[in-house]
Structure 1
Amino acid sequence: MFVVNSQFSSIHSFFSIFYHFVFLIFFFYFSFEFFIFSLKFMPFNIFSLFNLGILNPFNFCFFFFLCYLFT
């Protein structure tokens, strides 16, 4: 019984680490995509920094980042 519990614990920890790793990869990829999109289609000045990736609170990457913080 102890072996089964330890195996389940190791599998659970592996999937937890794997989930966070995959989530961070997708988060940085989409934030980078929004960064490139903002540089292509937005005029760059000091006031347009909120259009660059994570700083925009209306960006869905920001929402995913908040979800990641609370998991």
Structure 2
Amino acid sequence: MKIPTPQYRCPLGRFRPDVQDVDAIKQRGWRDQRILVVSPDDERLDWMERELVRQIGERLYGAGGRRHD
């Protein structure tokens, strides 16, 4: 009679992070706390909106960052 050898379960497996929906977190932040997280590279924005986001970011936090023009 063959006895199957039990498979070893790595104890680190339970520490695997859960995958979170980033857009859902951003949406909840906006609805609950009025915090807006937006990238100037977001394809959902038109050119004028992306430029406005960039200008606001530079005004508040200084020039810098990366540009993909």
Name the TM tier (shorter chain).
under 0.3
Higher RCO structure (Cα 8 Å, ≥6 apart): 1
Q: Name which one, 1 or 2, has greater alpha-carbon Rg.
A: 2
Greater fraction helix: 1
**TM-score, normalising length from structure 2?**
0.26
Which TM-score applies when normalising by structure 1?
0.26
